[in-house]
Every structure is written in C-alpha cells, then in structure tokens.
Amino acid sequence: MPKGPVGTTLKDVLSFDPFNFSERENEYLSRLIEQTGPYTFRAKEASIPFDTLSETDKEALDFVIEHFGHMTSMQLSDYTHKYPEWYRYKDLFDSGLTKRERIETYELLSTIKDDPLGVSEEHIKETEKIIAGLFE
C-alpha cells in the first residue's frame, strides 16, 4: 500500500469488509479496534486483557515498542519504504496506477542496513527452504 506494507490478514481485519468477515465478527472487531484516520487505527482501551497474551506475544510487543515506539506514523511509513518489497512498487504508487500490490511471503525475507528486524543469512536460507517446500 502507498504508506507501507500491510499483511493481507491485517488489511482484511482493518477493512471491516463484510466479504471477509460476518456481521458478528465485524461487530466483535469494532469493539477492539477503531479507525482514527484514513490510514490510522488504534486498539480500544482495555480491548484485550494483557494477561491473556502469551509470553511470545508480550516479547513481540516489547520489541516493537522498544525499536519503533518513538516513531511517528510518517516515520514508520518512511522506514518501511526502505525495504525492497515495498520499493519495487514505488513508481506505481507515486503515479497513482495502483493502491495495493501483492507481496509474496518469500519477499518478506529481505533486510536493510542496521535493521532491528534483520536475521542472519543462515536463518534466511533455512526459511527459504521451508517456504519453497510449502509451495512445491
């Protein structure tokens, strides 16, 4: 998307589209999430009790807050535009020819310099093998 990559499932959740979810599911989602602008959303206060999250969920949230919590939404957008899986569509977005493009799972294995999300080359190669095995 023009402001940066968004996972398909997350995009579906944030669209509240009746094609993706039933009316009951959308009602539930609207109790958890609210749209605050064209590209901005926020979790409603106390929508998910913290103690129901797994330890890995909490670790992931701590990681995101530590590395990205100080950034504004535009800084986050600029940051995501450094990744090749978004950048390859830059001209299409800038020209208005598209609003969204599909990013394949294997493309998400890219890294950039000083990337807090980066993993070792060995890890990437092993993940590529797993992904390739899923699609054979």
Find where tokens 């095995």 sit: 133
Q: Model pTM? A: 0.65
pLDDT, one tens digit per residue, over 70-89 is 999 889 888 888 888 888 88
Domain boundaries, given as residue ranges, for the chain: 8-103
pLDDT, one tens digit per residue, over 28-47 is 888 888 889 887 888 887 66
Which band of pLDDT confidence, cut at 50, 70 and 90, is reported for residue 13? confident
Per-residue model confidence (pLDDT) at position 59: 92
DSSP 37: E
pLDDT at 130 over 90: no
CA torsion, points 119, 125, 129, 134, in degrees to nearest 10? Answer: 30
